[in-house]
Amino acid sequence: MKIKSTMIDKDLRTYGRMIKIVNNLCNNNLSLRLMYKLGKKIKLKMNDDSMEFIEKKISRKDGSMMRVCIFKSKTKKENLPGVLWLHGGGYAIGTPYQSKLYAKEFMKVRDCIVVVPDYRLSIEAPYPAALEDSYETLLWMKDHAKKLGINENQLMVGGDSAGGGLTAALTLYARDKKEVNIAFQMPLYPMIDDRMITESARDNNAPVWNSKSNYNGWKLYLGNLFGSPNVPCYAAAAREKDYSNLPPTVTFVGDLEPFRDETIQYVENLKKAGVEVQFKMYKGCFHGFDQMCPNAEVSQKSFTFLTNSFIYAVDHYYAEQE
């Protein structure tokens, strides 16, 4: 799917032109590895007037430690919605710090606690490391709900891009393991299909994330499984056949990006299985448009859609638990 500059939303177009230059220079595994190293060195100021930021270390099953970042409302209330948020970055790059944007959006409309694990990236450990870390964090939230101030019946999971893919995989995994209940999921423009066979995933040259970067991302994440017909659904959720008994879902996607068609198909599969879904597709938008250009009108519309869905989930599912 070839993308012309004129197809991009006018508020995103200038940034799109700039980032395509970077794409052309950095669209390979070596560049991902360099960005991975750079990301490990970046430290950002997380505390501000709207929220608290805390870092903790939790133990994995093998005894190693994992960092989790916690964004908290300053109200000190108890029994709040708990959101496990999984950051994006093609499974290969990214840090929990970039999730502050979503944490702030959620806290504008509801007091909540957002937990973001520093899950192992594919460059250091391929699948299933990231999924295992996400699940360990979810169990930790459940087991420490009272101490965290979380309502354990109101655990939600969300993420963007690869984090959206992890969200979709995690809800399948949690459903099948039956150890913890997920009340609501928010897999935004999720990276869920390693086969890259849809129209939007083939020959896509859009800014930020395109067919080449998608190929490189999946190759790193799947390791020896890459190209196999037997990739498990917990690695690529689009390979699942049974979408029943999954939590109510909200997602959105841009119409110019590689994940457009797999997101649409995922939404249809959920609906066919009787899962409640709220979905929007935004015209003229490339991958990650909301994060890259958060002040653009279309990005603000996507935030409103997401937070309205979040409000509905908090009010509706909390009432059900009561």
- Per-residue pLDDT tens over the stretch 33-46: 665 565 565 565 66
Angle in degrees, CA 70, 73, 79, rounded to 5: 90
Residue appearing with tokens 């959620």 = 106
Q: Quote the CA–CA distance of 51 and 45 in Å, as a whole number.
A: 12
Q: Quote the CA–CA distance of 25 and 3 in Å, as a whole number.
A: 18
How many structural domains does the chain have?
A: 1
Mean pLDDT of 58-83: 91
Closest CA relative to residue 162, chosen from 222, 231, 226, 249: 222
Output the pLDDT for position 322: 45
pTM of the shown model? 0.93
Over residues 45-57, the pLDDT tens digits come to 666 777 899 999 9
pLDDT at 321 > cutoff 70: no
Closest CA relative to residue 242, chosen from 320, 150, 316, 175: 175
Domain that holds residue 283: 5-321
Residue appearing with tokens 């896509």 = 204
Output the pLDDT for position 68: 97
Over residues 190-247, the pLDDT tens digits come to 999 999 999 999 999 999 999 999 999 999 999 999 999 999 999 999 999 999 999 9
**Strand, helix or coil for residue 29:** helix
> What CATH number did the domain enclosing 241 receive?
3.40.50.1820
